[in-house]
Copies of this chain bind each other. A is one copy, B any other.
Amino acid sequence: MKDGTGRAAQTPKVDKVDIAEYMQRQKKLVDSFLDDYLPSPKLYPEVIHEAMRYSVFAGGKRIRPILALATGEALGGDLRALIALAGALELIHTYSLIHDDLPALDDDDLRRGQPTAHKRFGEATAILAGDALLTLAFQLLAEIPVSENQHELKIKVIHKVARAIGTSCGMVGGQVVDLTTQGKPFTREQLNYIHSSKTGALIQASVQSAALLSNADQAARSALATFGASIGLAFQIVDDILDIEGTPEQLGKSSGKDRVEKKATYPAMYGLETSREIAKNLVEDAVHEVAFLGARGEVLRELARFISIRRF
């Protein structure tokens, strides 16, 4: 086949993706967007805006935004819409970390090597900063720039994200069971519920929302939903493993805490070796699930693989 210039058109050569470089680049994009979007620390009342920024810019890897961007890019979605979605997902993730770290919940003093929000700003401001980030996330979702016929799609995105972070198979539900099983015997069903809900649901929703916004068809959305669920669960299993194997320096917080607190984790249920195996299989499933994307899916596949081998 020849194009209009008489030159032979070629299938674009797919270079092996440098996933670390890709993640670094997308993280910069997300950080720059969030820096523009978050209220200025000089805006009254200053302390809450300082606290919100402090936690958002505490060094997160931006996994959820990067997954949303990569999904949307693979489907040819609009970058302006995707970056707003990506930003909202990170605001939600940050809210969940601030509240999880509170003395009444996980009682963590350090997060990514820095004092947690309540250690730095006090408990009241930390609670309110979490509330404010959750609220701002929905405001931002409502501001996603879409074309005239996409308003209903945007409502579906808002709905999907809200469900993913709610109580029934969503983030808050997972956090509740995580807390109530602590120090007690737990079942496989509870363990799966915690991991799929607390961590998996928002990761899955990141992929699914980007697919929706990018007008993916039903078959693609369904495959991507499975992809998202698999990597979401794998991500939390790897987190469990790193809590045992990582050094405090690598983790930016104390290690071995899950075991001390008798948390429901995969290593506690299955041992380290089997947990590693389960995570690996989940990632392999995920990689197969997006085979339909061909070369365009390479970044998503590399992101999935990264999740199972990450060391931080």
Contact = CB atoms under 8 A, between A and B. Distances in A.
Contact of A134 (B43, B135, B152, B158): B135
B180 A47 contact: yes
A133 to B, nearest CB: 9
A162 B139 contact: yes
A213 B136 CA distance: 22
A127 B142 contact: no
Contacts of A139: 159, 162-163, 166
B142 A123 contact: no
B176 A128 contact: yes
Contact of A48 (B39, B131, B158, B167): B167
Interface stretch (A69-77, A97-105, A278-286): A97-105
A151 interface: yes
Interface in A153-181: 154-156, 158-159, 162-163, 165-168, 170, 172-173, 175-177, 179-180
Nearest to A105: B124
B177 A162 contact: no
Nearest to A175: B128
Contacts of A125: 176, 179
Contact of A154 (B48, B155, B172): B155
A177 B49 CA distance: 12
A136 B39 contact: no
A142 B142 CA distance: 10
Majority secondary structure of chain A interface residues (helix, strand, loop or mixed)? helix
A138 interface: yes
B45 A180 contact: yes
A135 B172 contact: yes
A107 to B, nearest CB: 10
Nearest to A151: B151
Interface in A106-160: 122-125, 127-128, 130-132, 134-136, 138-139, 141-143, 151-152, 154-156, 158-159
Contacts of A141: 158
Contact of A124 (B104, B128, B130, B136): B104
B179 A124 contact: yes
A122 B134 contact: no
Given A122-B104, A152-B151, A39 B167 contact: yes
A132 B48 contact: no
Contacts of A44: 168, 173, 193
A52 interface: yes
Closest 10 CB pairs of A and B: A104-B123, A139-B162, A151-B151, A142-B159, A45-B176, A151-B152, A104-B124, A142-B158, A132-B172, A48-B176
26 contacts: A44-B193, A45-B173, A45-B177, A47-B176, A48-B172, A48-B173, A95-B131, A99-B127, A102-B127, A104-B123, A104-B127, A105-B124, A105-B127, A128-B175, A128-B176, A130-B131, A131-B131, A131-B134, A135-B170, A136-B167, A138-B162, A139-B162, A142-B156, A142-B158, A143-B159, A151-B154
